[in-house]
């Protein structure tokens, strides 16, 4: 699944991190299409899926949110995102963003 400005494209592309559709490809395409308007959220899961794509979102001034690994049922995806990206928020899954 890839995003282009105003479109979602479903393509039988290559696997990334053993998955198709891959969250990193979705995050990267969203950051290219919408730049600073993108909010990426990495929730519970195994391995490091989402970490590279979330870093791409931050590189284009988007917002990065990661579930608190301590409360995730599988903490490696949120932990990997925290290791590779200067995230904006680390939150429990059931929370509200602080108002600015």
The SS3 call for residue 4 is: strand
pLDDT digits (tens, 9 = 90+) for 41-91: 999 998 999 999 999 999 999 999 999 999 999 999 999 999 999 999 999
Per-residue tokens: 29 = 């395409």
* pTM for the model: 0.82
Mean pLDDT of 21-31: 87
pLDDT of residue 25: 87
The CATH number of 2-91 is: 3.40.50.180
Per-residue tokens: 40 = 């990426």
pLDDT class of 16 with cuts at 50, 70, 90: low
Q: State how far the Cα of 62 lies from the Cα of 55, in Å rounded to an integer.
A: 9
CB atoms within 10 A of CB 5: 7
**Domain limits of the chain?**
2-91
């Amino acid at each position: 699944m890839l995003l282009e400005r105003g479109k979602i494209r479903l393509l039988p592309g290559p696997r990334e991190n053993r998955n198709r559709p891959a969250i990193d490809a979705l995050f990267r395409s969203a950051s290219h299409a919408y730049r600073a308007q993108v909010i990426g959220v990495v929730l519970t899961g195994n391995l490091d899926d989402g970490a590279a794509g979330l870093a791409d979102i931050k590189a284009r001034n988007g917002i990065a949110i990661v579930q608190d690994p301590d409360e995730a049922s599988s903490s490696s995806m949120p932990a990997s995102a925290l290791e590779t990206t200067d995230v904006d928020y680390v939150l429990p899954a059931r929370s509200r963003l602080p108002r600015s």
